[in-house]
Amino acid sequence: MKVVQISARDNALVKQLRKLAQDPAAYRKQGQIWVEGDHLCRAALERGLRPAWAVIAARAWGQLPESWYAGAERVAVLEDGLFAQVSTLESPATMGFVLEWKAEQQADFAPDVNSVVLDRIQDAGNVGSILRSASALGFKQVLALKGTAALWSPKVLRAGMGAHFGLQLHEGLTLEQLATLRVPLLVTHLQGSTPLHEAALPTPCAWVLGHEGQGVQEALVQRAAMLLRIAQPGGEESLNVAAAAAICMHASCVANLA
C-alpha cells in the first residue's frame, strides 16, 4: 500500500477530486466516483469494493482504524485545507474514497425482476432517498430514464447513504430500451381508479416514479398495467415523490410477505 503526502493545490489527484466533487456528471467522463465520509466509505467496504484511492485529511492520519483504508490501492494524505476544498460537505469529513465506475455496467438490465423506474426525477435528494428505500425494501434494480439526476453524483450518493453499493443501477435509458421490461408497470396517478391499499399487486413488478412537477409522462401512463391512487385523507394535493416511492415499494413488500 503506497502512501503519499499532498500539500500542493495543483496536484493531479487534487484536481481530479475537485472535478468529481463539483461536476455531478464528471464520473461518466473520468470513470471514477468520489464518496466522502466514514459512513459511505464503510458501506463500500462492506460490499467488497476496493478503492483506487483512500483520501485522508492530515488531521485524521494516524487516528483512523487502518482497516478502513488497508484495502486501498493507494492512500493520499491531504493537507487539511486541501481536503476542505474537495469536500462536498458543509463540515468536511476526514476521509473519502475514489472508486472505479464503468459505463458498460449500466447497459444491460434484467427484464423480469422487481424494479424501480425513475422518469426524469431531477432533485438529487429525492433520487437518493428513493434508492435508499429501494434497497431497504428489496427492489434491487433501478432504471433511470434520460433527464433523471445523475445517479452517482455526490449529492445523490450522500442522500442514498450507501444504498448504491447494493443496487443494480442503470441510467440514461430511453423509452425504447425500457420496452424490454417483461414485468407489469405500476403508476400512481391522480386519476387512478384503484386505491393502493386495496390493490392486488403483482410480483415482480416495476414501480414508475415521475418528474416532481410533471409526473409520469403519458407514454408510460399508457403502458401501465395498473393506475393506482395513494389514499390521502389529510387532503393534500400530492405527495413528495420520494415519500410516494417508499409507500408504494412498502406496499409491494407487504404483499410479497403475505
> Residue 219: is its pLDDT beyond 60?
yes
Q: What is the pLDDT of residues 77-119, one digit of tens each?
A: 999 999 999 998 888 899 999 999 987 555 689 999 999 999 9
Handedness of CA 47, 48, 49, 55 (dihedral sign): positive
Question: Band of the pLDDT at 232, cuts 50, 70, 90?
Answer: confident
Say if domain 106-257 classifies as CATH 3.40.1280.10.
Answer: yes
Question: Band of the pLDDT at 227, cuts 50, 70, 90?
Answer: very high
34-52 burial string, b = 16+ CB within 10 Å, else e? Answer: bbbbeebbebbbeeebebe
> Residue 19: is its pLDDT beyond 70?
yes
- Break the chain into its structural domains and give their ranges: 2-101, 106-257
Mind giving me the DSSP string for 154-176? HHHHHHHTTGGGGSEEEEEE-HH
Pairwise CA distance, residues 64 & 54, whole Å = 12
Q: What is the pTM of this model?
A: 0.94
> What is the architecture, at CATH level 2, of domain 2-101?
2-Layer Sandwich (3.30)
Residues in Cβ contact with 28 at an 8 Å cutoff, skipping those fewer than 6 apart = 101, 103, 150
Q: What is the pLDDT of residues 23-74, one digit of tens each?
A: 999 999 999 999 999 999 999 999 999 999 999 999 999 999 999 899 999 9
Q: What is the pLDDT of residues 156-167, one digit of tens each?
A: 999 999 999 999
Q: What is the pLDDT of residues 130-169, one digit of tens each?
A: 999 999 999 999 999 999 999 999 999 999 999 999 999 9
Pairwise CA distance, residues 212 & 59, whole Å = 41
Question: Band of the pLDDT at 256, cuts 50, 70, 90?
Answer: confident
Q: What is the pLDDT of residues 171-215, one digit of tens each?
A: 999 999 999 999 999 999 877 779 999 999 999 999 999 999 899
